[in-house]
Each structure stands twice: as C-alpha cells, then as structure tokens.
Amino acid sequence: MKNIQILLILIITIILYSCNSNSTKEQLVEIDKPKIEQAQEYFKELKDFLKKEDGKLWNYQLYGPLLLVNQDDRFIIANEADNKGILTKNGEVYIGTLPNEIIIANTAFDWNGKRWTMVMLPLPSDYNERLNLLTHELFHGIQPKIGFSDLFETQSNHLDEKNGRIYLKLELEALKKALTSDNVDKQQAHIHNSLMFRYYRYMLFPNAKEAENTLELNEGLAEYTGSILSDRTDDELTEHYIQAINNFYETQTFVRSFAYVTIPVYGYLINLQDVSWNKKISTNTNLIDFISEFFNITTPENLKDIVNKIELDYNFDEISIYETNRDNERQNLIAEYEIKFINNSTLTIRFENMKIGFDPRNIMPLKDIGTVYPNMKITDNWGILTVENGALLGQNWDKVTVSEPTEITDKIIKGDGWKLEINNDWELIKIEKNYILKKN
C-alpha cells in the first residue's frame, strides 16, 4: 500500500510539473497582464505623437522597434515582432524573455535581426517625462541612420576635479538665468557668460574641449531630442531644464552626466531662433564652437579677468566652499581606492567581446589609471561579472580590476562585493600576488 501511495504521489507530481511547465508562459502573461495593457497604451500614445511630429526634428521618423523590459524577471513587451520569431504575439504587442547574456539598460542594440531600443520598466507615470525618456532612447536607435554611428566617448575626468566642477556649475548657473531672462539682451549676456566659464574650463584643462564634445554629441543630442519632443510648452520646458540642472547638482559625479543638461539647454535657446539647427550638426562638429558662432561669441584675450569679474554673479562663493569640502572627501576616497586596486592583491580581466551596464552618476576617476564604478555588470566571452562594491575599469576600456578573490569554485568566483560566473573554457590563474583569467 505504501508503494502505491508513493507511486501515486510521483504520478501526481509529474502531472503537476507538466501542467506547470506548459502553463508557465500563460501564468507569466497573467501576472504581467496589467503591464502588457499599460505598455499597449504607451506604445499607442508614443506612436500617435511621433506620427504627428512626422520626423521633422531629424528628417527621420523616430518610432521604431522598441522593447520594454522588466528588470526583475527580464520579461519583454515589444511593439513589433523580432525577425527570428522568438517573441510571441499577445494582443497588440509581442512578449518574451530577454536572454541572460544581454544586459538590461536604456540603450539601443542589435538583436534577432533588428536594431532595437530597450527601455527599462517601469516607465515614468508623468506623460511628458515618459515621452522625454522614450524619444531620447529612440534617438539612439536611429543614430546610425542619420549620420551619428560609432560615436566614441572620451571620459571627461576633469569634471571630477574641483575646478572642473566649479566652472561647470557656474556655466549652468548662467544658463539658468538665460532661461528666465525677460528680454533678449539679458538672455544673450547670460549665454555669453556661460560660455566664458566654459572657455575658462578649457583653459584650465587643455583636453576638456575634445573630451566633453564626445559625450555632448552622443547623450547631449539625445537628451535635446527627448526634451524637445516631450510635448511640453515653452514655460514647461524652462521649468524642466531648471529642475534638471538642480537635480544634476545632486549627482555624485559629473563625468558622464553633464551632457544631459548642457546641450538640451543650449539647444533650446538656439531653437528659439532656429528650429532646424540640429540638422546642421555632424560627427565632425564641435558643439561649443557651433554654439559660440551661432551667438557670435568669441574667446577674449583677457578671459581670466572677465571670469573673475562675473563669477560672483553666479553663486561662486557658495559653489567654491561646497566643492572644496567635497574635494577633501574625494582625496580620502582616492587613497582608499589606491590601496584596494593598486597596492592589494587583485583580479584583472581583459575584455574580448565586452558588453557593459553601469550607473553613470556615481563613477570616480582614479588618477590616470582608470575609473572606479561602484556598480556594474559586464558580459564577455569569459562569463558574467556583477559588481556591487566597486571595480576599476581601465582607462582604455580594455580591462576590469576587482579585489582579491575570496571564494573560488569551478563555476563561481567571488570577492568583496563582486561575483564572477565563469564559462567552462576559462580558468583563474595566480601570478605572484595577483590573479588573471586565462582561456584553456
């Protein structure tokens, strides 16, 4: 009798497992039904808005293949089918699961025969913010088709230095006043002063001009697109830009985030006079040269004297005190990172086919060695690296360094705040006090 009971239990278990396996997708759809219905509404809202816009901003329709991805379970809701039939049609959308090797991020990428724009869920509940985000990311999707493919970003590490930050903040304070000026002459004066602070920053950091331009061409133009196509009125745009600058000040580092506020504001101020200015930009354009020429502003010989004269009008004392205190704390953190990534034992992994996701708001340059990213996820031929407590990315984006491994198995290697899921044909090798990955 006991054997019969065990057999019945096994049969029931097998049946239940089979039913569960067959219904996994249906259960997932049922669980995410509200998300699916909401996504359908958002896709329609976006498509209708961009249909009315009719591609005027860039002479190209922005609406295209779009994936909304839930971060917890990698559930995909797409506005159209993929070319390999992996996504399943569900009502007016297509659903599926994003493969583990693809990093979830707001980005544009090629997958299953199409160039997709990926946006992480949840989307903003505010209509204007939602349009802003989606059109920003859709711009990245069309970049290769409108002449902005293969943009290479040079890191603006000087914007983590005290004077780099001070004169960026002064530039932004001048732009805030330009946005709220009650006549054209006052607005022009504040634009002039914003560029004086920019020129002075370039004088202090000779490589700044080229470095800043690389990110402003990429993310600056994308965010200009997002804000201009957010269906805001002029008053709402002014309020939005000022709030964006104020929020920007709260970010831990400006190295990769400054372009999200500089070019949208300059672009909007130009847009008031020339709505087609952005169509004159190419990958060879230096945006600050273009902006300076548009407003007929040149670098004066007595630049330092002019900056010293005007800086008090833009909260220089308050900014300087804050940045001096921040820099003292920063030096202490740099000393800690030097011990962790230079003096102590480490694991260094070289890239072969790297894909990376990270938060650009909290990175820290470490001298001329590289940049520390507190949180990141990297996939490559060797496996998947997840970092939650700091990793050093090489200056040339050719390698990543983490602290010494403390737990080592055939499949998983762990250290202080990081985990490496290693592929079968790779192994950990120790050379003196440090470690590397080597292919078998």
Q: Which helix (H) or strand (E) holds 407?
A: strand 407-408
| Residue 130 banded pLDDT, cuts 50, 70, 90 | very high
- Burial of 28: CB neighbours in 10 Å, binned 0-12, 13-18, 19+: middle
Instruction: Find, among 13, 229, 246, the residue nearest to 142 by Cα.
Output: 229
Strand 66-70 with 114-121, pairing: parallel
Percent share of the chain, pLDDT over 90: 85
Q: What is the pLDDT of residue 232?
A: 98
Q: What is the pLDDT of residue 9?
A: 30
Bridge partner residues of 431 (DSSP)? 434
pTM: 0.85
| Residue 273 banded pLDDT, cuts 50, 70, 90 | very high
Judged by average pLDDT, the poorest of 116-125, 327-336, 367-376 is: 367-376
Q: What is the pLDDT of residue 31?
A: 57
CA atoms within 13 A on the CB side of 411: 0
| Residue 26 banded pLDDT, cuts 50, 70, 90 | low
Q: State the average pLDDT over residues 82-94.
A: 95
Buried/exposed 112-141: b ≥16 CB within 10 Å, e otherwise: eebbbbbbbbebeeeebebbbbbbbbbbbb
Q: What is the pLDDT of residue 29?
A: 59
Cβ neighbours of residue 338 closer than 8 Å, sequence gap 6 or more: 366
Q: What is the pLDDT of residue 150?
A: 78
- Total number of residues shown for the chain: 440
Q: What is the pLDDT of residue 65?
A: 98
Q: Is the pLDDT of residue 45 over 70?
A: yes
| Residue 359 banded pLDDT, cuts 50, 70, 90 | confident
Please state, rounded to an integer, the average pLDDT across all residues of the chain.
91
Q: Which helix (H) or strand (E) holds 24?
A: helix 2-31
Cβ neighbours of residue 138 closer than 8 Å, sequence gap 6 or more: 62, 63, 64, 66, 117
